[in-house]
Amino acid sequence: MTNTIQDLFAHNRAWAAEMIKQRPGFFTNLTQQQTPKYMWIGCSDSRVPANQITGLEPGEVFVHRNIANIVVHTDLNALSTIQYAVDVLHVQDVIVCGHYGCGGVLAALNNTRVGLADNWIRHIQDVRDKHHSMLMQLDASKRSDALVELNAIEQVINVCHSNVMQDAWQSGHAIAVHGWVYGVHDGLLKDLLISVSKNQHLTDIYQSAVRKVFSQRQV
């Protein structure tokens, strides 16, 4: 169904009225404070809404999204959002979530030009090139999903290496970083089995997660 801009306002009024009817005081409570336990770093893809797929209410997850859920150390937007989540909101878990069928990953895998975003997608191509030999050992039909998972794993490591997380762990802040993938085809989240709560054994955890990406796809 095609919606107009005015339809969106109508949908909003209907939603707000229904929330007030079902949960009196809901919006008043939201104005009091923002205390989410989780931070979500996800893709901008419109099919991957953090709150809905995790069953969380407004105010329960702090969200940062960009093309292909990338975190790089030159992106002050992402790093500032992470810093606010960790130091101000005191979230307990940071989730980096990719999704199968990601357009950015597909463009990186196939060297597809999309315009200005090519510069951003270059970060995924770096991940592709890093794991090129292993990716080429997979059937061509499996490489896209594998790169989606590898990209999420690499971004988890980038978050862990940020000065925000390093300082948080050094100060004793109990916070963990996780790598997940969402299946647009079935609506389910997949744990990539990379969860980091301190600097120790980071390399071992990373290498184990990468090995699983390939071992589960080998014939």
pLDDT value at residue 200: 78
Query: Structure pTM?
Result: 0.92
For residues 201 and 145, is the Cβ–Cβ distance under 8 A?
no
pLDDT value at residue 114: 93
- The CATH superfamily assigned to 35-215 is Carbonic anhydrase (3.40.1050.10)
For residues 34 and 59, is the Cβ–Cβ distance under 8 A?
yes
Which residues does residue 98 pair with via DSSP β-bridges, in sequence order?
181
Higher pLDDT, 30 or 111: 111
Q: What is the rounded distance in angstroms from the CA atom of residue 180 to the CA atom of residue 153? A: 8
Domain assignments of the chain as residue spans, ordered by start: 1-32, 35-215
Confidence of residue 217 (pLDDT cuts 50, 70, 90): confident
Cβ contacts of 95 within 8 Å, gap of 6 or more? 38, 39, 40, 41, 42, 177, 178, 179, 180
DSSP state of 84: I
In degrees and rounded to multiples of 5, residue 82 shows phi and psi of: -65, -45
Q: What is the percent of the chain where pLDDT is above 90?
A: 89
Over residues 107-115, mean pLDDT: 96
Q: pLDDT tens-digit profile of 66-85?
A: 999 999 999 999 999 999 99
Confidence of residue 105 (pLDDT cuts 50, 70, 90): very high
Instruction: Walk across the sheet containing 61-66 and list its strands.
Output: 61-66, 38-43, 93-99, 176-182, 189-196
Catalytic positions, written as ranges:
43, 45, 47, 99, 102
pLDDT value at residue 33: 72
Burial of 6 (0-12, 13-18, 19+ CB in 10 A): exposed
